[in-house]
Structures are given as structure tokens and as C-alpha cells.
């Protein structure tokens, strides 16, 4: 029985890996694989350093699994080069790569060829998106329109007053419809002003 590692990645903390996990567990069961590791990263795909992926590579080098299952090829790599390096390393270690969405299996030569093609298309798509965003920003600047989110209009005095009434950061964030980080920043700015006064 082949030992399988499952790797999931979601871009933000608001997204959930459960869908990916369900599909990969089902695929492993259908193929008769024994699941020996389930690793999740909650980080953007463009980040070079990913704790889960780093752990996965260490486990691969130790020979802990025979097959790597991912939900989609773009979950594992940030660029074609990174993707190919990862696949190449897995191949050198004798580990198969299987992608649920694209139905790719590098156990054979056709699967390896398809992986290269899909990786190139994914990088092209990402670069086209980046270029469209940059073009839109240039046009907005030329038209004199503001770029980015509108600055928050918060009642700092009310936030400080409610905090002094022992409301938690979570309660304040909910009341003012902002993140806990924003509430923390307001309180920190006030504390800094008090110290300098």
C-alpha cells in the first residue's frame, strides 16, 4: 500500500481547507493509499517560505511518503519555476505527484508533460492578472481617481470610551465593524500620544 501525504493551501485565514481535504481523502481512499500526513498552509501562493510546504519537503526527504496529493497544481507552487523544482525534487525522491482538479498523475511520462504545460499556463494567467491590475491603476492615476480603499472614518473617542468600559477588542471590532487589528492600532496610537504628551 502506498503512503500518501495530503497538502492543502488556502490564501487567507477566511478561506477553509476542508473542501480540499474532503476531496483528497476521498481520492486516497479510492486509490487504496494510506494517508500518513495532512499538511495545510494558510498563506498566499506567491510566498516563497511556507511552513507547511517546508515541512512537507522535509518529510519527503526522509522517505515518509510515496505519493503527494494536492487539490490543484497551483496550491503547491508560486511560479512555473518553483512548481517544476518541486516536481523535479519529488521525482528524484521517487515520489509521485497527483493533482485532484487537473487529474494529473506523474507516475507516467504523459502526466509529467501535462504538469509542465499546466504550470506554464498558470504562471501566464497570474502574470496577465497582475498586468491588468497595473494597467487599471495607471488609468486611475491619469484620471485623478484615488487608488486603494477609502480611509476608515472611526470615532476614536468613542472607541477609547468603550474600551475603558471594559469592552474586549472583539466586542469593539464587532460594534465598529472593523478588524481587531484596527481597534488595536487605534488604542496603540492613543497610548503613544499619551506618553509623548
C-beta separation of 35 from 45 below 8 A: no
Contact 154, 115 (CB under 8 A): no
- Whether the CB-CB separation of 95 and 28 falls below 8 Å is answered with no
Q: Is residue 95 within 8 Å of 62, Cβ to Cβ?
A: no
Pick the catalytic residue from 11, 99, 168, 175.
11
Cβ(40)–Cβ(101) under 8 Å?
no
**Using an 8 Å Cβ cutoff, are 182 and 151 in contact?**
no
DSSP 105-134: ETTSHHHHHHHHHHHHHHHHHHHHHHHHHH
Contact 104, 116 (CB under 8 A): no
Is 99 annotated in the active site?
no
Q: How far is CA 160 from the centre of its chain?
A: 35
Q: Active-site residue numbers?
A: 11
Amino acid at each position: 500500500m502506498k503512503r500518501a501525504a495530503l497538502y492543502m493551501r488556502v490564501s487567507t485565514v477566511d478561506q477553509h481547507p476542508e473542501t480540499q481535504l474532503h476531496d483528497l481523502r476521498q481520492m486516497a481512499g479510492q486509490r487504496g493509499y494510506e494517508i500518513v500526513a495532512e499538511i495545510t498552509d494558510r498563506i498566499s501562493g506567491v510566498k516563497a517560505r511556507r511552513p507547511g510546504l517546508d515541512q512537507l519537503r522535509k518529510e519527503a526527504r526522509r522517505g515518509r511518503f510515496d505519493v503527494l496529493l494536492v487539490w490543484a497544481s497551483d496550491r503547491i507552487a508560486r511560479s512555473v519555476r518553483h512548481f517544476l523544482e518541486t516536481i523535479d525534487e519529488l521525482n528524484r525522491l521517487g515520489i509521485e505527484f497527483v493533482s485532484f482538479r487537473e487529474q494529473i498523475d506523474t507516475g507516467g511520462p504523459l502526466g509529467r508533460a501535462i504538469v509542465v504545460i499546466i504550470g506554464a499556463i498558470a504562471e501566464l494567467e497570474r502574470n496577465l492578472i497582475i498586468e491588468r491590475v497595473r494597467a487599471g491603476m495607471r488609468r486611475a492615476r491619469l484620471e485623478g481617481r484615488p487608488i486603494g480603499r477609502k480611509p476608515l472614518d472611526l470615532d476614536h473617542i468613542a472607541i477609547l470610551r468603550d474600551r475603558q468600559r471594559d469592552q474586549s477588542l472583539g466586542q469593539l471590532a464587532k460594534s465598529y465593524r472593523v478588524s481587531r487589528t484596527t481597534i488595536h492600532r487605534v488604542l496603540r496610537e492613543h497610548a503613544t500620544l499619551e506618553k509623548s504628551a
